[in-house]
A and B are shown apart, each in its own frame.
Chain A
């Protein structure tokens, strides 16, 4: 035994004698993780969050969450002598005077954008492969909640520097809260501490951004991972993969090394983005002054669909009675409160909506291939297209400039596309998938063809024999040894995998030896 091993074993014994961790640790070390590139999307989100914490802690050391107005005398010459909030001035200070401050700020911002992007793509992966089905509905709910929290915290963080662009965003946020029927004006005043703009919103946003929401997000991520750990990861169909087993690499050391290394790779890419790709140069926007506004600015990408919805909404509002004494459901309520409500309501309810139609209450541990579920996939594509059009609509002015057309034409094109494109995309997807299901060779590996050119210029074709990689699926030797010691009372009994990938069980029994595990 090497000294490293001795020390590690010593530490493990220390922990076991005090906490009794041996069983859990053995179980965890030997846990099998299915391997697929699409399983790394959630990892990217997790690692971005860790980067957000690291860079965020750094930024809090220098950021001053105050709307107190001062005159700037700092090192950025173009803004000297201007009145601005301490929040904005301290962000300038981070960007220009704190060593490595700008790169940290930009890494933080990029990490936030990557965080939410990874969550969205991860959610799409889960959706299109049906990985939210029983028993994973709870993790679907937790993950969707994380998306909401991430978007809200992203927006709040983006607002903190109190620059002209984000300040305008806060103004819109006030109007959106204000638009909620019955309680809107009260809610807006309570959140802002007064009528807009007040002096409380930056300090309040700060504590929400750095403490309250990160704590909730961290707790939910913990629950998300613990549930995934406990339920074991889903896997794609394949040789030897059944609904009752997991095939892949062991947590220790292969998975731990790969996942740990992937954290550093994610960090490296985000650090490169933060270093080389400028993001949110607030010194160019100037401080927030309520009567000033900037042109052709878009919010961060994850707010794009909401901004687009605000732009595409026709100029309607629901009015009851006269100006004084009447009531109103304002215009922005429909795109900015109702639409997100329906969006996330639909996401939360989706597993149960599907269950209503499929009448399927079985456990599913094998992911679907999207092409095998034409209805789900085409509905998903249609809905996704709806949000893509909304996202594009957040740039109506830029698009009109780019295509040298009028805003009017752009707006109406997008309004029509918002309803036409999802239908087209959904229908085309459905027809394609139905077509694909008719093909007998779908999903089969293609036989390679060899083309030989003869000396006389003739060509001869011949099929190349496929030499299949015959991977042998084994159990971890320690698991086999453990079971032989404790007599089939380990993490379950041995699943023997035969040549055709079918599982045949040698004996039936579980940890209690009485209850028969139902198998499919």
Chain B
């Protein structure tokens, strides 16, 4: 038997399944119909649901057709094949070891040069890593400790309107910023939630006797857990809820963290009302706002 003969016609296992051939044909035809439908939909301006449906038909027709072809119209065996252990033959392994050692011997004997090379590459990496990182952004410095709130900052709304002592009803709530910092990006850190309690002489904690004039209490709106805005105020229980991870803060006791993962109360901003009836901050916060970081303590 010649070589050509040996390979020819050996694997011509014919599979006769006229029905399955028809199924495959119908699948491909359905696909064409789907694609035309998709084209028409697109031509007419597009519509997501119709596009999805026609894509399903177009792709699904091809897919089911090919898989049926591969499963029912060509031989499935099962066939068997030998599998070798991954490990190479011993003489190959020995040869690898020998070559590896040869090279290592030739290079490794110059220990001083090797160390010098290691040093050069290491120094290059380390020295260049720093400028690379440093170019990405500024070092934090003290910026995590401070906000733009300072003595006399007027409270303004997001659109810059000054907040007067007459603006909030008892039980009302609004988000405020220090005047001049109500826009992006400073509003992310400076945001404060202003609540008006029924008790005009409310003292949230000892030492905060003057912080809440006429029941106005102001707290950093940045959650001490993961930094989300503590955006939901439950008037009935007088609690602030962070919708991200369900931390609850009790307003009347100084936004104490009473439930959930938040580890610290929301920092309170001391307020006063000036002679024009404008709400202002007595000073900045007396602790960093927002989630924790390494450089701060309790």
Interface residues of A (CB under 8 A from B): 30-32, 35, 69, 99-100, 102-103, 106-107, 135, 168, 171-172, 174-176, 178-186, 188-200, 231-232, 240, 243-250, 253-258, 260-269, 271-276, 289-297, 307, 310-317, 319-332, 335-336, 363, 365, 396-397, 407-408, 411, 471, 473-479, 481, 484-485, 491-495, 497, 510-512, 514-515, 517-518
Contact = CB atoms under 8 A, between A and B. Distances in A.
24 contacts: A32-B77, A100-B51, A103-B46, A175-B227, A179-B291, A189-B140, A197-B185, A248-B78, A249-B78, A255-B70, A264-B62, A268-B59, A276-B49, A313-B261, A331-B291, A397-B243, A407-B259, A473-B80, A474-B79, A484-B6, A494-B82, A495-B82, A510-B84, A510-B89
Interface string B218-232: 000100011111011
Interface residues of B, number: 98
A335 B245 CA distance: 12
Contacts of B75: 254
B83 A245 contact: yes
Contacts of A99: 42, 45-46
B238 interface: no
Nearest to B135: A190
B152 interface: no
Interface in B23-76: 42, 45-46, 48-53, 55-60, 62-71, 74-76
Nearest to B59: A268
A491 B81 contact: yes
A389 to B, nearest CB: 16
Given A175-B226, A268-B55, A263 B292 contact: no
Contacts of A311: 245-246, 260-261
Contact of B288 (A260, A261, A323): A323
B204 interface: no
A324 B297 contact: yes
B137 A325 contact: no
Contacts, number: 368
A326 B139 CA distance: 19
B69 A69 contact: no
B276 interface: no
Contacts of A107: 52, 55
Contact of B293 (A185, A244, A517): A185
B14 interface: no
Contacts of B3: 485
Contacts of B292: 178-179, 317, 328-332
A191 B260 contact: no
Given A179-B293, A268-B56, A397-B246, A197 B89 contact: no
Given A253-B70, A266-B63, A311-B246, 6 more contacts: A179-B293, A184-B293, A257-B67, A315-B225, A323-B297, A332-B226
Interface stretch (B107-115, B187-195, B208-216): B187-195
A176 B226 contact: yes
Nearest to B9: A477
A193 B187 contact: no
A363 to B, nearest CB: 6
Given A323-B296, A475-B80, A515-B90, A291 B221 contact: yes
B262 interface: yes
Nearest to A515: B89
B159 to A, nearest CB: 11
Contacts of B89: 510-512, 514-515
B106 interface: no
A322 B264 CA distance: 14
Given A175-B290, A254-B76, A317-B292, A322 B297 contact: yes
B48 A103 contact: yes
Contacts of A471: 78
Give 8 closest A-B pairs by Cβ, nearest first.
Answer: A275-B52, A326-B297, A257-B70, A330-B292, A264-B63, A261-B66, A261-B67, A268-B60
B66 A264 contact: yes
Contact of B79 (A262, A329, A475, A517): A475
A241 to B, nearest CB: 9
B32 to A, nearest CB: 14
B295 A330 contact: no
Which of the listed residues B69, B231, B293 has the most CB atoms from chain A within 10 Å of its own CB? B293
A375 to B, nearest CB: 27
B56 to A, nearest CB: 4
A190 B68 CA distance: 53
B145 interface: yes
Contact of B137 (A194, A297, A314, A322): A194
Contacts of A168: 228-229, 244
A288 B136 CA distance: 23
Which of the listed residues A183, A324, A514 has the most CB atoms from chain B within 10 Å of its own CB? A324
Nearest to B56: A272
Nearest to A176: B226
A326 B229 CA distance: 26
A405 to B, nearest CB: 13
Given A265-B64, A291-B187, A291-B229, A296 B74 contact: no
Contacts of A272: 52-53, 55-56
A230 to B, nearest CB: 8
A276 B52 contact: yes
Which of the listed residues A99, A186, A290 has the most CB atoms from chain B within 10 Å of its own CB? A290
